[in-house]
Amino acid sequence: MRKKTVRDIDAKGKRVMVRCDFNVPLDKQGRITDETRIEFSLPTIRYLMQQGAKVILTSHLGRPKGAVAESMRLDPVARSLSGYLKISVPKLNDCIGPEVEAFIGDMKPGDVVLLENTRFHAGEEKNDPDFSRALAGLADVFVMDGFGSAHRKHSSAYGVAEYIPGVAGLLMAEEIEKLGSLFEHIEHPMTMILGGAKIDTKIGVIEKFVDKTDTFIIGGGLANTLLFAAGHEVGESLVEKDKADVARSLMKSIEVQGKRVLLPDDIIVSDTVDEHSETANIPLRFIHPKLKILDIGWKTTEKASEVIRQSRTIVWNGPMGVYEYGPFARGTRMIAEETARSPAKTILGGGDTVDALKNFDISFDQYTHVSTGGGAMLEFLEFGSLPGVDILQDAD
């Protein structure tokens, strides 16, 4: 799959709307606590500035449900962008309307402006044609660079490209290339590492890659659900008991293909979840009904590490435990470090996975590719594309 990119267009003097993923985490004071998504957007923005485009940035932030929410305005993002770009990036108070049109009309080549949260308008999540047309009317070209939103048919991520030419940003192009490579030649052994809480988001990927994957390493809440479905005691752990039938069916499909599944057979448990929790590393069969499984155990971690060391292709999405707290971070950290050392093709993604790497101070450069999308990455791997990719112009 090849899509036109910003490098295929003449951007000089053009009004170029760039859909970024600035859905960044904020603390109670409205300060950004992780600027990774902003940092990933910079290459495309800088390229367009250098080409003399009038750069119009759009994004959503949070879930304001179609109404203005003061705590979800994009002012902190504008301040962050100003620092990175070393220019003053104005943030407008809306994303459509006469005032926005007038401001853009006065822009000069190389200027950058950030429009207000697109989800302040109810039409955004509905992909409302009127809202999409209003956004599209502000620009000559649309650049989709917010991979994390490409799985949604929203106006700012999809609908705009129905009215003006749409191409991929540099970040989006890399996501398409690196994730798309998994549908071509795969060097074996291939290992898929899956964690996180919900089984529904992982089913499609497992089914899509079950014939290509040699070993599945499963941890986190996902492992709890599979263990529960297999009849194991899981205490008061995070588990989707209503998905037991789905879990059993999934395990059967993997077994039919003759693939190896590495589930925790020893676990880190506690009755509290904080930095001061007292923990125990015990065999799974010894868990007390009042305890919680909060990480994979040491023996399981070593088995997983051995699998990783023998792998030539590794795909990882989701942590092995409650990595945010030191007592339960070891499993995820060891997986991260072992994967970073591996000479294999390593493709990682998911918000929690990326957050864990930052917590452990592990450079993204040590991996083949770190995807900026969580749900978007999983859906791309399941379906081979996404709405926000399909709508862009083909390279041919």
Which positions are annotated as active-site residues? 37, 198, 351, 375
Residue where the block lists tokens 């077994």: 255
Helices (H), the chain: 36-50, 75-85, 98-105, 123-126, 129-136, 170-180, 200-209, 220-229, 244-256, 298-310, 330-341, 351-359, 375-383, 387-390
3-state secondary structure of 205: helix
290 token code pair: 């009042």
- Gyration radius of the chain over CA positions: 22
Sorted by sequence, the CB contacts under 8 Å of residue 4 that are 6+ apart come out as 167, 168, 392, 393, 394, 395
CB 94 within 8 A of CB 104: no
CB 390 within 8 A of CB 176: no
Sorted by sequence, the CB contacts under 8 Å of residue 67 that are 6+ apart come out as 120, 122
Q: Half-sphere exposure of 54 toward its Cβ, with a 13 Å CA cutoff?
A: 15
Going by their DSSP bridges, the two strands 280-283 and 266-270 should be labelled as: antiparallel
Cβ-in-10-Å burial (0-12, 13-18, 19+) of 276 comes to: exposed
Q: Half-sphere exposure of 208 toward its Cβ, with a 13 Å CA cutoff?
A: 16
* Dist. CA 332–CA 357, nearest whole Å: 9
* Dist. CA 72–CA 30, nearest whole Å: 8
